[in-house]
Structure 1
Amino acid sequence: MKMKGKLAIFLVFALAFGFAFYGGDGVQAAEYNIRAGIGFDDQSASYAGLQKFKDMVEDKSEGRIEVEIHPGAALGDDIEMMENLQRGVQEVTVPSTAPITGFVEDFAIFDLPFLIPNYETADYILDGVIGQELLEQLEDVGIIGVTYWENGFRQLTNNERPVESVEDMEGLSIRTMENEIHLDAFEEMGASPSPMAFGELFSALEAGVVDGQENAFATINFQHFYEVQQYVTDTGHIYNPLVFMISEEFYNELPSDLQDVVIKSAEEAGIYQRELKRNMHEAAKEDLQDRDDTEVTVLTEEAREGFREAVEPVYENYEEQIGEEFIERVQNRIEEWQDIQDI
């Protein structure tokens, strides 16, 4: 065989092998693929956190793992994506704790109003014994709970009057999530809760179908609720953690070195996401305070205590569902942290 013919055959085999090993763009083909889906859009802190996760995983795995990010509920709502993880047809999602209660009921602890008073307490609970115990319970439903990300504190807005005390809540119709604990909490505050789809909320506020709503500062600002809501109150009545979770089926397929890469990347990205989310909330709060057409009320400690007293029956109503002993454990840990802070 002539030399040119041999070279041609060699090049054919070399190119074929190269494309099989690296893919068409000269990059080594990934051995594993992670489809990471979230309900939040691509402007959210959660999306930015997943981008950080993607960069770290692909770098630390040296291309052996590829991460695809699917925002805006493209793979389903939070419950559907958790079910995808159970079936092994999706690898990662980062839902709020509210839908997780359908899989692990103890996560309902975070729906109790005025439980978590500030970020420092949230970190102490989530990153401590209580938070880890909750994550471990997810293994019973075929999911690996890795770490906590954040959606943050929910705040109140309305278009009727400033809310400076729980008495000012009387008679206000407030859009809430479709969540029994949240509904009960607002009823105990004297309001009339009205659950509805988030996509219908702005038009409902504009038309006066409801007087107000409750969401995080960043959401209030980003969704332009200030255009139809004059009064904002820094209630912080609910703290919403997010949980970074992985399909147990997928996780078990990974070699131990790549398991370590995924876990550490999720934890590092979580630190970044939580800090980013908090900065976004503070910036949004400042923007609202600077607006001439918006009045922001920060509750006094006395007023906040009035809200806490008003919702005490909610804790009693859900002792059986969540567990009286578990609620007391969490409350004791919170008091323990506050005592540490007072030293």
Structure 2
Amino acid sequence: MKLKTLLTSAAIALAFAVAPAHAQKVIKLHHLNVDDPFESTTGAMVTVFKNLVESGTGGSVTVQTFPNGQLGKDNEVLGQVKAGLIQSGVFSVGGFASAYPMIGVLDVPFVFPDISATYTVLDGPFGKKLGADIEKKTGMEVLGFGDSGGFFAITNSKKAIKTPDDMKGLKIRTQTLESHKRVISSLGGQPAAIAWAEVYTALQTGVADGQMNPIPIITMAKFNEVQKHITLTDHLFAPYVWVINRKFFDSLTAEEQVVVRNAAKSAIVANRGISRIIEASAKGLPTLAKSMTVTTLTPAEKAAFRNAAQPAVKSYIVDTFGKEGEDMLGALQDAVNETLK
């Protein structure tokens, strides 16, 4: 028995002794949802990324995923990425605002005409401009902008919403983003910033009357169990912001950097595809429609919402971020206008 213990100890010691010669570069990757690529938009993203990085580098770079917020909330994990304690993370705009408040520029309501325009804008010159500013101010390298599930809808437990007047008096849960709060208050609602982990209970107990999120998120969170009405407002698109520690990225070889960048691009394509599939499948609107009253706005009704909410958010961005905010707003609008040509 003693001999076996000694041999085991010797084997472990030998493994540690030779480990540096075979040391791999590890990307520890945070996200808030499950790893299952068919259940979660970030799950699809990280699964594809892991496979392409590890196969593309021949195993010299490996990826360890940390789903379901295992490492903490977005705003907490951002500090870990900046410090290099972990290498990468996929963050909600609400969480990312703690490191880069001007991400709120994306929250101009009804700015995007359709979902394909969001991809064109975020992958094009505007997305590169925004990414460069993020890198300059946070020190983190931007790998891309993912899809959190498409356009936002508004749910509530009280009544069908067809006009801004219908929002009056309703307590609507928002993220901590001031821009999101401005959207709700400009429509006459009462914004209530509630932590994600507490939203279901808040809706169930009446602490909040409603909330706003993309359809796949609403289904995944089972809000249809505690909400009676859903209005397809399509008023916001809140992308995931995917960053990697700059010092770690610079430590990769040129070839490894190319693999990581291309893997991220492919992973975001997969993320967007699964978002659209979930939204359209039994995991999306068809399931919600079984137990909720679904309201679709006419163009005129949507214009009433836009006219009420858009000026409030634009003025907030300019007042808060000054010339920089105004320039970024102009670049966003120019990029959107290009998609209409």
- 2:36 matched to 1:38? no
CA contact (8 A) 1:29 1:63 kept: no
Amino acid in the other structure paired with 2:141: I
Paired with 2:305 and 2:86, the residues of 1 have a C-alpha distance of: 41
Aligned equivalent of 2:229, options 228, 231, 245? 231
Number of the residue aligned with 1:65: 61
Q: CA deviation at 1:263?
A: 0.9
Following the alignment from structure 2 to structure 1, what is the Cα–Cα distance between the partners of residues 258 and 81?
Answer: 19
Alpha-carbon distance in structure 1 between the residues aligned to 2:269 and 2:141: 18
Partner of 1:7: none
Kindly indicate whether residue 232 of structure 2 is the aligned counterpart of residue 252 of structure 1.
no
Q: Would the aligned equivalents of 2:27 and 2:62 in 1 still touch at CA under 8 Å?
A: yes
SS at match of 1:66: strand
Q: Which runs of 5+ in 2 are unaligned?
A: 1-9
TM-score by length of 2: 0.87
Tell me which amino acid in the other structure corresponds to 1:80.
E
Which letter does structure 2 place at the counterpart of 1:41? Answer: V
In 1, the alpha carbon distance for the partners of 2:180 and 2:101 equals 15
Structure 1: distance between partners of 2:101 and 2:177 = 13
CA distance in 2 between counterparts of 1:100 and 1:217 reads: 21
Amino acid at match of 2:313: V
Pick the aligned partner of 1:214 from 212, 215, 220: 212
Q: Indicate yes or no: 2:74 matched with 1:78.
A: yes
Q: Does 1:94 align with 2:90?
A: yes
Range moving further from structure 2, 312-321 or 162-171: 312-321
2:165 is matched with 167
CA shift, 1:29, in A, is 4.7
CA distance in 1, matches of 2:108, 2:47: 31
Picking from 171, 175, 178, the partner of 2:176 is 178
The alignment partner of 2:265 has SS state of: helix
1:201 matched residue in structure 2: 199
* Deviation beyond 3 Å, 4+ runs, structure 1: none
RMSD (CA atoms): 2.3
Instruction: Write the distance in 2 (CA, Å) between the matches of 1:55 and 1:329.
Output: 35
**Post-superposition shift, 1:205?**
1.7
SS in 2 for 1:185: helix
Alpha-carbon distance between aligned partners in 1 of 2:94 and 2:228, rounded to the nearest angstrom: 28
Task: Give, as a single letter, the amino acid of the residue that structure 1 aligns with 2:90.
Answer: V
Task: State the AA in 2 paired with 1:285.
Answer: L
Map 1:2-17 to 2 at 5 A.
none
Can you list the C-alpha shifts for 1:283-324, whole angstroms capped at 9, x where unaligned?
Answer: 2012222x0x31111111101100011012331232132422
Moved more, 98-107 or 37-46: 98-107
Contact 1:175 1:194 in 2 (8 A): yes
28-37 or 242-251: which moved more? 28-37
The amino acid of 1:314's aligned partner reads: V
The one-letter code matched in structure 1 to 2:32 is: G
Q: Structure 1 vs Structure 2: percent identity of aligned residues? A: 28
> Structure 1 residue 126: deviation in Å?
0.1
> What is the CA deviation profile of residues 191-212 of structure 1, one whole-angstrom value per residue up to 9, with x for unaligned ones?
1111212222222222222221
Instruction: Report the CA distance between 1:81 and its aligned residue.
Output: 2.0
- Code of the residue aligned with 2:294 in structure 1: it is V
Of residues 133-142 and 147-156 in structure 1, the stretch that sits farther from structure 2 once superposed is 133-142
State the TM-score, normalized to the length of structure 1: 0.87
* Cα distance, 1:113 vs structure 2: 2.0
Query: Displacement of 1:226 after TM fit?
Result: 1.2
What is the deviation of 1:282? Answer: 2.2
Cα distance in 2, alignment partners of residues 197 and 243 from structure 1: 19
1:237-273 deviation line (CA, Å, top 9, x unaligned): 2101112211101011111111111111111111111
SS of structure 2 residue aligned to 1:155: strand
CA-CA distance at 1:79 after TM superposition: 2.1
Tell me the equivalent position of 2:339. Answer: 337
Q: How far is 1:30 from its partner?
A: 5.0
Query: Does the CA contact (< 8 Å) of 1:205 and 1:228 recur in 2?
Result: yes
Larger radius of gyration: 1
Q: Name 1:6's counterpart in structure 2.
A: none
Select 2:143's aligned residue among 131, 146, 163.
146
Give the match for residue 288 of structure 1: 288
- Deviating more after overlay: 209-218 vs 321-330: 321-330
Change beyond 3 A, Cα 1:99–1:203: closer
CA-CA distance at 1:80 after TM superposition: 2.2
Q: Distance in 2 between matches of 1:94 and 1:286?
A: 28
Alignment equivalent of 1:114, drawn from 92, 110, 113:
110
Whether the 8 Å contact between 1:30 and 1:63 is mirrored in structure 2 is no
Identify which range, 193-202 or 85-94, moves more after superposition: 193-202
- Cα deviation per residue 1:141-162 (whole Å; 9 max; x = unaligned)? 2211021211132211111111
SS of the counterpart of 1:199?
A: helix
Alpha-carbon distance in 2 for matches of 1:77, 1:117:
32
2:315 match: 316
